[in-house]
Amino acid sequence: MAILAANWKLHKTTEDAVSWARAVKASPLARRCEVIVLPGFLQIPAVARELHGSQIALGAQDVFWEESGAYTGMVAPTQLRDAGCAYALVAHSERRRLAGDDDRGANARIRAALACGLTPIYCVGEDEKERSTGRFREALVGQYDVGFEGLSAQEARRVIVAYEPIWAIGSGQPANPAQAAEIAGAIRDGVFARTGLESGLRILYGGSVAPENVAGYLGDTAMDGVLVGTASLDPSEFLAMLEAVVDDG
């Protein structure tokens, strides 16, 4: 089943969040894909209550690597589990830019999330300059090489990678499916070299995914699903994406 992950970023009141959850869980399409919703931290408990008993999974937009201590403002893996999360984004490019998240911190977050039974969704992607100068492959190697450092093949299999070229996020200019598939292949090879994981690594594409283009990333391509920002906010647009993916087989 294709994974469709909805990253709400800094959007939605609790009321809006609950009404999205109510609308999406009511659709039979939501049972034919793996839907993961990633609300803001404060909306997680209310969305968890609304989704209780449904097949829609819940995640957070970040996770810290320590379980407790003098870390003002951080949220621990166990706190997320307690609140009903099964997933956590790690090192989204907006957090890399705004909050200083980096590959080393991502590695610590991935290990802490795995240790607590959360599935990390590790975001990697090159910027516009790296793409236009042809240095994007090298830029990405650094990200997944450090991110997966010290992980066994069994641990690596529990990580989801989201390939999100920064130039494609929120720009209306998605990477095309062939570009995404090329990078997915390189990531699989790199993670195999680093951890020995031969197969089973799940990779999502993210960056300006919409109902019109979502099917192109799935089906026969190398991707296991998509991570969607803008087009995930309106429940009817999100359901249109589910429909496109389910229709696609």
The contact set with ligand PEP (CB under 6 A) reads 7, 164, 169-170, 206-209, 227-231
* Nearer to ligand PEP among residue 197 and residue 228 (C-beta): 228
**Phi, psi (rounded to 5 degrees) for 23:** -65, -45
DSSP 8-state code for residue 176: P
DSSP 8-state code for residue 21: H
CB 232 within 8 A of CB 9: no
Instruction: Give the Cα separation of 109 and 87 in Å (integer).
Output: 12
* Nearer to ligand PEP among residue 103 and residue 164 (C-beta): 164
User: Is 11 a catalytic site residue?
Assistant: no
User: Is 92 a catalytic site residue?
Assistant: yes
* Nearer to ligand PEP among residue 170 and residue 196 (C-beta): 170
* Nearer to ligand PEP among residue 152 and residue 171 (C-beta): 171
Tokens of 14: 């609790």
Alpha helices for 40-196 (secondary structure H): 44-51, 77-82, 93-99, 103-115, 128-132, 136-147, 153-157, 177-195
Residue in 92, 94, 126, 130 annotated catalytic = 92
* Nearer to ligand PEP among residue 216 and residue 229 (C-beta): 229
CA 105 to chain centre: 17
Residue nearest to ligand PEP (CB): 229
- The least CB distance from residue 37 to ligand PEP, in Å, is 13
Instruction: Give the Cα separation of 165 and 151 in Å (integer).
Output: 24
**Phi, psi (rounded to 5 degrees) for 208:** 60, 35
- The least CB distance from residue 94 to ligand PEP, in Å, is 6
- The least CB distance from residue 140 to ligand PEP, in Å, is 16
**Helix, strand, or coil here: 206?**
strand
- The least CB distance from residue 123 to ligand PEP, in Å, is 7
Instruction: Give the Cα separation of 239 and 246 in Å (integer).
Output: 10
Longest dimension (CA), the chain: 49
- The least CB distance from residue 217 to ligand PEP, in Å, is 12
Residue in 50, 94, 130, 164 annotated catalytic = 164
**Phi, psi (rounded to 5 degrees) for 120:** -75, 140
Q: Which residues are catalytic?
A: 92, 164
